[in-house]
Amino acid sequence: MNEIDAIGAPGADGLLGRMIVLARLSERIGHLEPRRVLLDRILRRMLLFSRMSERLGIAAPESALMRAVLREVELGCFECTVWRRCREWLDGRSPNDDYRDFCPNESLFDVLPRQDNVNRPYAPE
């Protein structure tokens, strides 16, 4: 099994696993090749998506529907034209902004469950 096959393997770590595979693939390609430029762009957008999910406290999806919505948000980040503003907000350089003012995925982010709203039957009270 190669690294790319491991993405879909049981226990593979979703987004992080895909990012690791893409980063390793990018390292094998010359810096000036168009494929490298594209891979690096994809990795930067995946990182922004990951940081946004973390900052908003998005919970791990528990249903197929929520996994599909989360994947749709991730794909939407690839097409984002305001990624610089997103990065500034995530870096804390726009503290008065609300992500809803600029994020084209804001309506999808808003339907995803937050970590503090997830029922955890074994969590300490």
What is the pLDDT, as a whole number, of residue 51? 94
- pTM for the whole structure: 0.75
Report which DSSP code applies to 112: S
Picking from 58, 34, 62, the residue whose alpha carbon sits closest to that of residue 116 is: 58
Higher pLDDT, 3 or 34: 34
pLDDT in tens, 19-71: 999 899 989 988 888 888 889 999 999 999 999 999 999 998 888 998 899 99
> What integer pLDDT is reported at residue 117 of this predicted model?
66
Residue whose entry in the numeric block shows the structure tokens 């096959």: 5
